[in-house]
Every structure is written in structure tokens, then in C-alpha cells.
Amino acid sequence: MLLDAHSGFRYLVLLLGIAVIGYAAYGMATGRPYDNRMRILASSFTASLDLTLLAGLAVVLTGTFYPQLAGHIVMMVLAVAVAHIVSVVVRKRPLEERTYAPHLVSALVVLGLVVFGIMAIGRPIVG
């Protein structure tokens, strides 16, 4: 059951990641000032990564481990680290200095790491 939950959370991560990319790109293209919706969307994306990481940790602690999993774990921990670092950096900036660009770039990097992490264990990204 834990493995199914962990595997299913990837859809939430992918959906929220695409939403962050879309909203940040829209905000940059229209020149809108940084708003609270971007912060909430980025926080939701990071929280979905955290939830997936915790479920994955529970799967590993129950004894499910094989050699390809090492690459998967490294990629996913890097993805979570990137998401948290950008979140903290943006939050520490004064409101008038916050932009959409860090969210756009970090979501692209995080989703890239997630995709490669999923491919490391030989699973399809969607399906």
C-alpha cells in the first residue's frame, strides 16, 4: 500500500510542478507583481515533494530496496533540497524584490530531477 501511495503521489508532484511553471511564466510574461498565489502554489509544490519523500522513506524502511533505487533516492533528495532552498531564498527577500523567475527555474530543475529519478528505477513517468 505504501509503494502504491508513493507512486501515486508523483502525479500530484507533476501536476503542481506544471502549475508552478505555468503561473510563474504567466506572471513573468504579463509583468504582474509577485503575489500571494505564487507563494501558495510554490509551497504546495514543495509540500507535495515532502509528502512523496516521506512515503518513499517509509517504503525503504519496510525493506523494499534494490540497487537501482540508490539513483532514485539521490535524485529525489536533490529535488526536495532545490525546492526548499528556493522557497527559503524567495521568502527572505523583501516583498518588492520577489519575482517569478526563481520559481520558474526551480520548478523546471525539480521536475527534471524527478523525471530522471523515476527513469532511474525503470518506471514510466506517466502510466
* pLDDT, tens digit, 9 for 90 and up, residues 15-61: 999 999 999 999 999 999 999 999 999 999 999 999 999 999 999 99
83, 45 in Cβ contact below 8 A?
Answer: yes
8, 65 in Cβ contact below 8 A?
Answer: no
Question: What is the domain partition of the chain in residue ranges?
Answer: 2-120
Element (H, E) at 46: helix 36-61
Strand ranges for the chain from DSSP E? none
* CA dist., res. 117 & res. 66, Å (int): 14
The whole-number pLDDT of residue 74 equals 94
The separation between CA 111 and the C-alpha centre of its own chain, rounded to angstroms, equals 6
The whole-number pLDDT of residue 87 equals 93
Angle between helices 101-120 and 2-30 (to 10 degrees): 150
Q: Is the pLDDT of residue 120 over 80?
A: yes
Q: Provide the grid cell at 101.
A: 523567475
pTM: 0.91
The whole-number pLDDT of residue 81 equals 97
- For the stretch 73-101, pLDDT in tens is 999 999 999 999 999 999 999 999 999 99
